A and B are shown apart, each in its own frame.
Chain A
Amino acid sequence: MLSFSSFVQKAQQLLDPTQGLNLSESDRNPSKASLFQSQFRLPSSQHPLYEITAELTIPPANATQGGRDRDLGYQYAGKLHLSEAYLSFSTTPSSFLQSASTSTSSIFTGQTHGGGPGGNGFTFPLCAIRRVERLHSQNFQFALSISTWNGISQDAAKDRDKKDLKEQRVTLQLAGSRQACERFCDGLKKGLRANVGNVAKMKKVTAECYSEYLLRPEDKKNAAPPDAGLGMMFKYPGDPKKLRDRAKMRLWAEYLRDNGRNMTLIRQPTFHKLIRVGLPNRLRGEIWELTSGSIYLRLENPTLYADTLSKFSGQESLAIDEIEKDLNRSLPEYPGFQSEEGIGRLRRVLTAYSWVNADVGYCQAMNIVVAALLIYMSEAQAFFLLSALCDRLVPGYYSTTMYGTLLDQKVFESLVEKTMPILWEHLVKSDVQLSVVSLPWFLSLYINSMPLVFAFRVLDVFFVEGPKVLFQVGLAILRINGEELLDATDDGAFISVLKSYFASLDESAHPKSENPKLRAVTKFQELMVVAFKEFSGITHSSITELRLKNKDAVLSNIENFAKRTAIRNLGPDSKLLSTDELGALYDRFYGVLYERQQRDHIIKQEQARRARTSRSRIAEAASEGDHGVEKGRVGLGPSTSLMDYDAFREFLAGMCKWAISDAPSTPRREASADKEKGFYGSFRRSDATLSPWGAGPEPADHEFLQRLFQKWDTDSSSALTLQKVVSGLARIKGKRDIMGTITYFFELHDNDGDGKVDREGILRMSEALLFLSRRGLEGTLNPTNSSLTLTGDGTNGGSDVPGQSVNERFLGSVSAFIRRCFEYADPDHPKNQDNAMPKLQAKLGSIQLEEHEGDELANPDAFAIGDDDDEDEDDLLAMDSPTASPKTAAQKPDTQPPTLQPNSTHLSPDDRRRVSKAQSVKANAALDPSNPLHITLPTFRMVVLADELLEQFFESSFPASFHIIEGLASAATPKSASSLTTFSSIGIGAGRAVNAELGAGAGREGAPGGAGAGAGAGRGLRGVLDNIVTDGMRVAAEVRRRMEEAQRELEKNAVAGQQQRASNDEEEEEDEEGFRGGEGGGGAYKGDAERRSVRSSDRDLLTGADAEASDGAVTDVGEGEVGRNGELGAAEGTGKVVGVEFDG
């Protein structure tokens, strides 16, 4: 677990907003593996497994330039590296510490910074090695002789009599302890064995290299040469004579003969010189492929190109549309691209790449680059080279945000500032933006700026030495034209200076010179000299450093732009929100997505790490991680812009109190744990330490959230775009109009959109109201109400804030809401039911009424409570609350002045009582499952408006609960401190409110309340309080359960109606007895167990007339002390209803 804690640390670092968004670890400290891969241009599947200092000896036969040491051959000291499938040697010091661990990062020690195969040496795929022998050497040296498949075709290997074959053989003297040498050799042995199977594949890949054809003995040249690009058909650009193509070809042929070709090529100084003077046309593609490392990609998956094409054949995409538009305008001056052949190749390569790298897709300028590549190489070669370009050489250049391009412009500008301060100052003064000139240079790798022949010369060097070449050339261009540029004072002049310079690159740099040699130097040659001599200080690592320095500014720029654009394009709904709100929403939206992606990544990394330790596979997982760490940041390119349900919850939890879970430790909703986030689930189980929600609070999961999500998800794609979120929020928050909000809330629960919400929906609505209010109401609430409670506070020792008791009373409002909804439920409204089922209803009504009255008489205590209920319809939940402040209740039940009774309803108590009784009767009918019922929007509106608190809720508190801009200040610690206070204060408020009501109710309640309170007093207040609100929300759920039960009962007891009715009566009486008992010795019913089911009794209140029976239980329950009898009573209550109904 030690490693795990460090992982958590890392996760926290990453998630820390102050640093998490900036540079990733992998930027500052690239892993050894990635440095290794860049240095040798190897695929990302390769990791440095072993390394050892060694001396490479190339025997005389292989040595190119005769000279002094012909007998000894050439010797190079450097480092030998072994990866899974490659043996690489380079004289360039590697950029990483030998001691660096394989997976994590290290400090740069070399100057190359993974700069590419600049030095001398080789990169042999292990499958290209034919034999390794350990040489018996004197003085205990450890030497290996390596012979390769170079030049040996499959057939030649078989008939070995073809003795004219010259085997390529090099000697490596390992310098290290015997142990180290042995270890290296063991690794090599293993690697060789593992790669034997790839020899045939390798030969197939090399067969497409022109060098194989070139070096073939004359008598075998009858076969068609491999595809060396469109140039073979349409001629290569430039005059071959002027380019001295033949001479170059001869030089290369000699070099390749001596030093191996393609896969088995050994880099010696001549190699680099040959590249500097420009590659011969037919070999250009192959050398590009080799130096860029794209040949290794091709070796890894030779059929990827063809496979991709066939796999996606016939499919369409946006990228393809974009490609189509540009096909006819890619190097249109080259004859090959005026033909169907050339266009077809270009189309296929671009299309295939857009499929394999959908994130990049297609970017204008790629067409030009690929068109250029296709002049010199086959489609497959160009395809892989494009991959190497986009992934490694110019990363981010063609991404959807083009951040790489913009970043390199910044880097270029700072280099200009540093190396040519005078010119830079001039640019600043004349307000000329350098990048308007230089951006196309970089983006199209000079292909679009210089005449093709020269652009290709730049590319020749670029592929070996990496992106620094683009900078060196760019700086040289400015340096050479410095004086003229100092005369230019605007973009136009600036551009025309450079345009004419590019047009004259083939002219003499010193036309007036006396020296003919000097006169023969072209401007391009001069450019190359200045670029690579004068600016030799521009290295890969200095570029990397500058990139690192500017990256953040560039990304934020892009992000600001993206944000601006996105916000402006959010559609008409967005006008309802302020710009600040939109900005904040944007930030929150992408913030959540980004963080989730990061977490996801970390978790995956960790899983991979674990998997690795169990499998003991080296480094495998590490590199995978390094590449993706930064994904998701808007500025970097395509990031998720879709929010799934879980992200939505997290998003809301960032700005709405009610969206934060009450019980963060409880396991998550199973469905979601099983769903796509399987690993989250499993992760939680094993390590609760790292929350899948990161540093933020765990969001709640409630049906309301799901409804909201579905409502906002207008096209039911199970994902929200920012636009949908904004439209959704705009309707709640934007209109600031109570009717709109009410309508919205109603529609939210109108499943089928028919303008009616059924019984189920009403319960859901009330659940939602409770859910939303459980952390207290926000917004502007009626001041009179507050002041009312304020008085109450005074008597309670000021332990309260005014608003909180409002919150408390809101619970009551919700209970009233349910009742009213049932009451006014439209078509089957009892009042309107004369036609529908008049007799039944009438009878039912009268019976119930009688019962009710009887109860009241028989049981004054129960009556008191019930009566209280009648007087104030609001107290469904308030009834629970005596528990909340038992002490208060016990101590000052009678001191509460009657005026404290909240008079939030408009009816006089008497009226209400009457109405309520009638209502309760009807409400029973409403609960009858056989009796369909629903409310319409007008009814809903009426019901809401009938209650001041509800009205205020919709008018202000609900919209205000979305803290778009400021967020939840206490978001970091909502679980503990803040939420708890809310709970407790609600509880206290509730308790007092209820007591006040009870007190107002002629003090009848004194006895039971006091008893219950006394019993509850000893319990931890906190535990009690915590449960109040959540329990309250179960009320409606239970009602529904009852209804179902009732339905079942109904079916079961269809016959035995009459008797049952009688027995129900009895039972009810019993229940009342029980209640009174409980009142007297509350202990009897105490027990924390089943608080939930106890709560269920609350629901009886909702059922109206039956309420009294369980009210007592409710009181108990409220105290958190409970009793099974409460539940019992409730059950019986419902049973009775059923019976009664069947009576008719």
Chain B
Amino acid sequence: MADSNAPKPSSSVKLVLLGEAAVGKSSLVLRFVNNDFQENKEPTIGAAFLTQKCNLPTRTIKFEIWDTAGQERFASLAPMYYRNAQAALVVYDLTKPTSLIKAKHWVAELQRQASPGIVIALVGNKLDLTNDEAGAGGDAEDVGAEESGDARKISTEEAKTYAEEEGLLFFETSAKTGYHVTEVFTAIANAIPETSLKTARGPGAAHAASRTEEQRVNLNGPRDSNAKETCVC
């Protein structure tokens, strides 16, 4: 895949997923990376690392995804993972109000502690549990079947307003149906400023940038062949 897009400039983007436990962070990644969904996903210990490429018209973005553990006590490990991240996906569960509160905490944490200029996307997951047309529009077999009604507890407006206030990208997704999942990553890829790509690791690592970049250019190829990747963009 890398070959077919060879002429396009390719750059790596470190992306971290944050959010309360069991909101579907890992499922989102799995859907994005493998276009797959597992009901019983082994919980993430510390963080799982995955990669996936995203082809934009003008360039190729290779996401290095850090999928962090959601349990509260793992929160203190998070700085280890969002260090130098250029993008973050803060996920909440549409059916669980507390998860949005937690998501807001993460947004605040990222805005203050992560690399400046980090692109943050707020993602409300589990759209398949709501009665939304959009959620049903996916390839879902049993949308909202378990819940006889609408399990949605957080309105789109509420989250959207918040996202706008904070300058976040905003999406509602279903990892189960795949609805809007790739859109999230594509939007992030588009939102990453060209300049930050040049420095490979974002402005936060500017001091180490030039060196890293060189190595990166050389090593990108061989590494790509290492990781099994499917491009869904």
Contact = CB atoms under 8 A, between A and B. Distances in A.
A and B: partners? yes
Interface of A: 322, 325-326, 328-332, 363-365, 367-368, 399-402, 405-406, 429-431, 433, 435-436, 439-440, 443-444, 448, 489-493, 495-496, 500, 558, 561-562, 564-565, 568-569
Q: Chain A interface mostly helix, strand, loop or mixed? A: helix
A562 B76 CA distance: 7
A564 B113 contact: yes
Contact of A493 (B43, B113, B212, B223): B223
B216 A489 contact: yes
A586 B47 CA distance: 30
Given A490-B12, A492-B227, A431 B46 contact: no
Given A364-B43, A496-B223, A564-B112, 17 more contacts: A322-B71, A328-B39, A332-B42, A364-B69, A368-B42, A401-B73, A402-B73, A436-B46, A436-B47, A436-B49, A436-B80, A440-B45, A443-B46, A489-B216, A490-B64, A558-B76, A565-B105
B139 interface: no
Given A402-B77, A491-B64, A568 B21 contact: no
Given A332-B40, A493-B226, A399 B12 contact: no
B233 interface: no
B41 A329 contact: yes
A569 B83 CA distance: 21
Given A326-B43, A493-B223, A431 B212 contact: yes
B22 interface: yes
B84 interface: yes
Nearest to B40: A328
A723 to B, nearest CB: 13
Contact of A564 (B40, B51, B109): B109
Contacts of A568: 105, 108-109, 112
B45 A368 contact: yes
27 contacts: A325-B22, A326-B43, A328-B39, A332-B40, A363-B73, A367-B43, A402-B73, A402-B77, A406-B76, A406-B77, A431-B212, A433-B80, A433-B83, A439-B80, A443-B46, A489-B215, A489-B219, A490-B216, A492-B12, A492-B49, A492-B51, A493-B219, A493-B223, A496-B226, A565-B105, A565-B109, A568-B109
What are the 10 A-B residue pairs with the smallest beta carbon separation, nearest first? Answer: A328-B40, A439-B46, A440-B45, A329-B42, A440-B46, A364-B71, A400-B73, A489-B215, A364-B43, A495-B49
A325 B21 contact: yes
B74 A329 contact: no
A591 B222 CA distance: 53
Contacts of B109: 564-565, 568
Nearest to B81: A436
B151 interface: no
Most chain A CB atoms below 10 A, which of B40, B42, B69, B84: B42
A443 to B, nearest CB: 6
Contacts of B208: 431
Nearest to A496: B226
Most chain A CB atoms below 10 A, which of B43, B49, B64: B43
A328 B66 CA distance: 23
Interface string B32-70: 000000011111111101010000000000001010010
B45 A444 contact: yes
B214 to A, nearest CB: 10
A561 B79 contact: yes
Chain B interface residue count: which class?
35 or more
Most chain A CB atoms below 10 A, which of B73, B83, B208, B227: B73
A329 B43 contact: yes
Interface of B: 12, 14, 21-22, 39-47, 49, 51, 64, 66, 69, 71-77, 79-81, 83-84, 105, 108-109, 112-113, 201, 205, 208, 211-212, 215-216, 219, 223, 226-227
A443 B45 contact: yes
Nearest to B44: A364
A436 to B, nearest CB: 6
B29 to A, nearest CB: 14
B154 to A, nearest CB: 18
A429 B212 CA distance: 9
Contacts of B39: 328
Contacts of B51: 492
A576 B77 CA distance: 30
A568 B227 CA distance: 38
Contacts of A331: 42
A365 B14 CA distance: 25
Nearest to B205: A431
A493 B216 CA distance: 11
A23 B8 CA distance: 56
Most chain B CB atoms below 10 A, which of A332, A405, A565: A565
Nearest to A442: B46
Nearest to A398: B73
A429 B39 CA distance: 40
A401 B76 CA distance: 7
B73 A330 contact: no
Most chain A CB atoms below 10 A, which of B83, B216, B226: B226
Most chain B CB atoms below 10 A, which of A328, A429, A430, A490: A490
A364 B112 CA distance: 27
A401 B78 CA distance: 12
A327 to B, nearest CB: 9
Contacts of A332: 40, 42
A363 B44 CA distance: 12
Contacts of A328: 39-40
A490 B201 CA distance: 11
A440 B67 CA distance: 13
A438 to B, nearest CB: 9
Contacts of B43: 325-326, 329-330, 364, 367
Contact of A492 (B46, B47, B223): B223
B227 A496 contact: yes
Nearest to A409: B80
A330 B42 contact: yes
Contacts of B14: 491
A322 B21 contact: yes
Nearest to A337: B40
A508 to B, nearest CB: 22
A586 to B, nearest CB: 15
B73 A399 contact: yes
B167 to A, nearest CB: 17
A631 to B, nearest CB: 17
B22 A439 contact: no
Contact of B40 (A329, A368, A435): A329
Contacts of B49: 436, 491-492, 495
B76 A402 contact: yes
A701 to B, nearest CB: 37
Nearest to A444: B45
Contacts of B22: 325
A510 B139 CA distance: 50
A562 B108 CA distance: 14
Nearest to A558: B76
A190 to B, nearest CB: 45
A562 B208 CA distance: 29
A493 B74 CA distance: 24
Contacts of B75: 561, 565
A435 B47 CA distance: 10
Contacts of B84: 431
A326 B42 CA distance: 8
A303 B44 CA distance: 34
Contact of A431 (B12, B112, B201, B223): B201
Contacts of A490: 12, 64, 216
A938 B215 CA distance: 73
A363 to B, nearest CB: 6
Contacts of A329: 40-43
Contact of A363 (B40, B66, B71): B71
B175 to A, nearest CB: 15
Contacts of A489: 212, 215-216, 219
Contacts of A500: 226
Nearest to A637: B73
